[in-house]
Structures are given as C-alpha cells and as structure tokens.
Structure 1
C-alpha cells in the first residue's frame, strides 16, 4: 500500500519533537508499505528554518525508508501569531504542490493542526483517486480560541470553523486521538459515528524503557541526589509553565527538590527571566535536547510533569509526554483535567492529579511525592504495565494500518458493490 502523510510538524532527524508520525511511518515502511510525508521546513520548537531549506519551495529527502518532502514555511512563522497564521497558509500552498508531485497514494492522511492541511490532503486524494483520512490531534480552531490566540467572532475564526466542518465532510474516515474528540464531533454533528476511528498516541517501547536513575544525564546536569520533577515538551502559551515557576517559589524550603524543564518555545525566555528575578535556584531550564537523549532524560528524573493552561478544551487531550513517562516507569504529576486524568490516575493508576495553574497545589503534590518513594515506585510500575497493555506504538501502528486497509477495500458511496477502490 502507498501512504501519503501531510503533517506540517513531522520531526526532523535528530531534533527534539513530537515523533509519533516519525515512528508510525518507520513502522509502516518496515512492514513493506511505501510511505511519503509532506512536511514543513520550520523547526517547531524554535520557530526557525534550518539553513538547508531557506529559499526553497520543496526539498525532497529521505528519513530512513520514508520519502520526505520538506515544504516552504516563511520565517515569519516564528514572529507572533499573525506570522504563524501566514505560515499555516503558506504551508497549505507549498504542501499542495508537493502532494501532487508525490506519486499516486492509496491513502492520504492529513493530520491537524494546522487545520489547513485538509486542503492539500483533499487535493491529493481527489487528483489520485485515493482515500482521505482527516486526523484530529487537537480540536482546532477551538483550542486557538480558548487559549486567546484567535477571537471567537473574528472573520478568520468563522472561516476556520467552516474549514473544520468541510474537512470532516469530505474525509472518508476521521481519526481522533482521544474519545473526547469523538464525543465532540458527534455532539456538533460534524460526522457520523461510523466515520470516526480512534487510534491514540502511545509510546515507542523500543526507545522508552525503565533505566537507571543515576545516568549520564543526571551527572551532566548536576542534579546529584535531588528529587527531580521534570517537564519535557513545548514552552508555549498553552503550556502555562509559569505554574512550575510558582511551585518552585513555594518549594524554597526544600533544597532536596528540583524542577527541571526540557524543551523550547516562545515563552521559555519569559519564564527563565521570572525565575531569575525571583532568585530561584530550584528550577532549571535545560533547553532543547537531541531526540535520541530523551529516554535518558526521562530516566534521570523521579517524576514526569504534564501541565497545561486551565482551559476547558484541554480536558479533551492526552498529552504525548505522559506515555513516555509511563513507558520509563516514572510517575506523572498531572495538572490537566478530563480524559488525561481518567487515563493516568484512574485507568493506569500511574500518577497524581492537581488542578491546572495552581502553583500551591503543585508544590504540595511534589512534597508528598518526594516524601513517599514507595508510592512513586508503585505508580511507575503501574504506568509501564498499562502502556505495555494499551499504548505500545507498534500495536497502534498495526491498528492504524488495518483501518487503512479496510478503507481501501471498501467501495465508495455510490459505487457498485463489485467495484473496489483499486479500480478507480
């Protein structure tokens, strides 16, 4: 089978990033399928364009067995919200040109956000007679509205909501990453239940596995014997990392506790400045790290933190990072309510919940965890067992692949029963 993925944030080799589709694409190609990815040229964590892509509309390269087309995104993307909006629409056009040059797929997966990926996805599927899967990794534009990036009544916002409705209508299948997304689509009448599948995120158990706490990362970072609570991920507006700075201020009396962040983003400098102004030495910002070292970073910590803005939209999300924490048998400190709380704290029994953006509650939870190593170890074991049983990336890749095979083998609406998708 020939699979075309349109994903603006498909990770660049060796860079820290959300690597879900890097791993899915690798697993599908290793299973004998031809995978092509149409991706952007912006390094998501920094908002910058690497030198080899500057001034180029499309750049073709390889990522192992995967064929990758890097498509133009202007450097204005990293300069405020208007720049980012322009970057999304520029990618829509550059991705469309690459998608139409990328052969004849059987299935096209357009994964959002940004929601504009649905346009090149539809064009490629329509031009080549392929089936289209529209994937929703985040409810967009709703999350942009609730975080204050877009105004609810703005013309652009209304247009994006129309694009969301159109994307759900023209897709042959919709994959959602959480059951809450499915419920939202059904509630708003955007798609019938039989059109929606749910293949969530997970962990690559070949890379993330329980390792020694005393490792090279802990020595290099100078963490010593301190109890380390580590946040790994984007440092943006939605992540609201000020709550960790607030917690650190409330933990001044515990020199044995350290909060560490790993990653980069538009808000990192502001939070670092706030920590310096407060004279805090119990929170450190480690910056972006090579993707290959992230399992070692997770193993070097005692607790993994997952935090977001106090925003009702985020009650619908599974943070990618919690799967990696659980895979490494590290308990999760979760300041995100909703389906993530149900998964981590109820289903997996692998962490503790605190209200989002409540620095006092976060600090108190960290104190309790630091003082109860037996509970931490038990939650770590529970998380690893749950991931092995429910969220192994290899099993999810196979499930996604089976959904694609079933879709390709199903006649389109209006086609005579004996006609297959391969005959179009």
Structure 2
C-alpha cells in the first residue's frame, strides 16, 4: 500500500533562503531512499522572499513519486502584518489542498514556528505522524525584540502554541545543536535530533584550489552575501567598519531584506564610499563573487537568541577556503573557533574588536577539505531522510 508524505516549507527553490536550500536537499534525499510506494506532496510558495529577486516558477510540477505545488501570495509592504497575512494565505491554500487527502506523515520545516504549527494541525486532522525541522527559536526571539509589558500576552500565546506544536510531534530536529538546552529543558519528553545545515559540493569544487582575488597593494575585497535584516544588524556595524578601514578594504554586500534601506541610509549619512550594495543573485553567480573575494564577512545581532544559532552561511563560506571574518557569539563563536581554520571571531556589534580581529586574518585560501567532508550536506540530509522515513514504519 502506498505511503504518503506531506512536506511543508514556506520557501523552496528558486527562492533564496537557508530553508529553501535545506528543503530541496532533504526532498532529494527522501526520493533517493524512499521505495516506489512512497508519494511526496510538497507544498510551498511562489518565490517571494525578496522583491529584488523575482523568479518565475511553475505552480505545479509532477515527477515520479513527487508533486510540487506553489502558492501565489499577495503582494505586501513587509513588516509583521504583511508577513502574517502572507502566511495566512499559505495556510489557507494548504488547508484547501489537503481536503479529502490522507497522509501517513507530515514533515514541516520552520523558522518562525508558524509552519511547524500548521504541520501539527494538519497531522492532527489527518491522524498522521509528524516530523518537525526547527530552524530558529521564535518565542525567544520575540522575547528579545518585544520586551515591553504590552507584548507579554502575545508572547504567552506563542509559548502555548510552541508547547502544543512540539508536544504533538513524533520527532523534532533542531538545525543548531545550540538549540538543545532551550528545548530539552522545556520539553524533556520530546525526541530531538540535530541534523545541521551543511556544505554544498558545488562550492567545494569551485574553490578548493582558488587564491585571493585582489592584487597586492589594493584594498582587500570583503564580501557579505545574505539577508539584510534585524538578525544580521548590518546597519549597526558595517558603516563603522567601512569608515575605519578606508583605503584598506572595500565591502561588497549582496542581498536584501527588511533593514536594507536602513543600511543604505546609515552609509549615506557617514558618506561611506567603500561599500557597494548589490541585489540578491542566484547561488551559481555567488561562486564567481566568492572567487574574487579576499575575505568573507558574517554578522549576527547582539541578542540572546542569536547565541544559540549556527548560521547556514558559515558552511557555504567555509567551503570556499577563504578567510572568514565573523561577528557571532555563543554556540556559533565556539563552532567557528573549533572547526574552521583561518577565521576571526569578534563580539557582535563591536566595531573596535572587529577591526582588531581583521588584523589576525591570513589573506589567502586554506585547505578546509576535512571540514567540507565532515559537514557535507548530502551526507547530513541522507541521514536525516532515514530518520524521517523511519516514521513510516509500523510503530
């Protein structure tokens, strides 16, 4: 008898996000390991993360053992209300799609809890088993950002929703091992795993023998590629860094996000001329950008919740062999110091320490082949797919 899996992910290629890349890697691993009697229905959205990166994708794709359905979301101006409305539209489309359908397993990957909650509701309605992939701690983020008394009832509500969602799951994967203390202390009866993000082979092949791109005597090319939001807080660190490193470094920022306008204004106010802001590009184009870079830059905001995360960008950066300059704390700082050669870590939002750490970098590529092998995404997703498919076996 055919087994059916419902896979929920808000982002999926050609959209650009860590969740998108993760979802497609797991989907490929599931298809490779599942026998012919497993059907996967993947529900996601049309590319919507960045207005500056619009790509057409089919509403429906049919493959052997796989059906992909993309929901067209309404346009919005961003912010919490816009994001909430977009998710409600996605959730409504999911509810319409599953009407009359039966599933043995629901898998949901989620960074802001809501997709996980949706997966839990669907699983409960269908009597299906539930596997959650948690990519961030939404409640803790809310507590850090909205810490006034007015937000306490709302945060309490999300705590209740988190508790019910985690309690409903048969298994919960945490993308960062740094999340384990938070979840294990609150949900001691839950079964947790920690299949992290990983290194994609395309970057290893591209950069294993590459060298620094700037000629001697020219300013070093420092590249940041990724989201520009509250979590990265580039507007609070990059203008000061660029100002202090005039003549020594030129910054190239590739990305977009809720704080991109604020970053642009902060640079203009200081009349910074050694920072170039570029729109998001497909991953294939990042290869040539990384190849020309001398240093790869990463930064997270100085909030308690970010001391638990392990940024997916670290794996991509490390695969290139290029020097990594990272403003991270907590678990991520320990991971970089422990696992990644020729990487300098400074406290988030501390421009003075950042410049001091910049001096410690050795410009040029290093061999990180052992790291790339240990954290190969293909292997990690293969093991995670086995963990997911075990839930299809008789209890």
1:233 lines up with 2:226 in the alignment:
yes
1:231-264, Cα deviation, whole Å (9 max, x unpaired) = 1110112210021221001112xx2421211111
Q: Equivalent residue for 1:91?
A: 90
Q: Equivalent residue for 2:73?
A: 73
Contact 1:111 1:136 in 2 (8 A): yes
Q: Equivalent residue for 2:270?
A: 278
Assess, with a 3 A threshold, how the Cα gap between structure 1 residues 404 and 199 changes in structure 2: closer, same or farther: same
Runs of 5+ consecutive residues of structure 2 not aligned to the other structure: none
Contact 1:248 1:363 in 2 (8 A): no
CA distance in 1: counterparts of 2:154 and 2:139, whole angstroms: 10
CA drift of 1:310 comes to 0.3
Please show how residues 138-153 of structure 1 align to structure 2 within 5 Å.
138-148=136-146, 153=151
Indicate the SS of the match to 1:36.
Answer: strand
Q: Equivalent residue for 1:388?
A: 373
CA distance in 2: counterparts of 1:129 and 1:119, whole angstroms: 15
Contact 1:263 1:287 in 2 (8 A): yes
Residue in structure 2 matching 1:205, options 201, 204, 213: 201
Assess, with a 3 A threshold, how the Cα gap between structure 1 residues 145 and 50 changes in structure 2: closer, same or farther: farther
CA distance in 2: counterparts of 1:228 and 1:49, whole angstroms: 27
Root mean square deviation of aligned Cα:
3.1
Assess, with a 3 A threshold, how the Cα gap between structure 1 residues 351 and 72 changes in structure 2: closer, same or farther: same
CA distance in 2: counterparts of 1:301 and 1:337, whole angstroms: 24
CA distance in 2: counterparts of 1:407 and 1:314, whole angstroms: 31
Q: Equivalent residue for 1:24?
A: 26
CA distance in 1: counterparts of 2:359 and 2:314, whole angstroms: 20
CA drift of 1:397 comes to 1.3
Assess, with a 3 A threshold, how the Cα gap between structure 1 residues 182 and 96 changes in structure 2: closer, same or farther: farther
1:341 lines up with 2:325 in the alignment:
no
Contact 1:226 1:258 in 2 (8 A): yes
Moved more, 311-320 or 37-46: 37-46
Q: Equivalent residue for 1:130?
A: 128
Contact 1:105 1:128 in 2 (8 A): yes
CA distance in 1: counterparts of 2:268 and 2:210, whole angstroms: 28
TM-score normalized with structure 1 length: 0.81
CA distance in 2: counterparts of 1:145 and 1:8, whole angstroms: 23
Assess, with a 3 A threshold, how the Cα gap between structure 1 residues 196 and 353 changes in structure 2: closer, same or farther: same
Q: Equivalent residue for 2:343?
A: 351
Indicate the SS of the match to 2:201.
Answer: coil
Please show how residues 28-43 of structure 1 align to structure 2 within 5 Å.
28-31=30-33, 34-41=39-46, 43=48
1:271-330, Cα deviation, whole Å (9 max, x unpaired) = 123223322222111221122212332232122222111011101101011100111112
TM-score normalized with structure 2 length: 0.87
Contact 1:3 1:36 in 2 (8 A): yes
> How many residue pairs align between the two structures?
386
Assess, with a 3 A threshold, how the Cα gap between structure 1 residues 43 and 37 changes in structure 2: closer, same or farther: same
Residue in structure 1 matching 2:162, options 156, 164, 168: 164
CA drift of 1:265 comes to 0.9
Q: Equivalent residue for 1:422?
A: none
Contact 1:100 1:127 in 2 (8 A): no
1:247 lines up with 2:233 in the alignment:
no
Q: Equivalent residue for 1:331?
A: 323
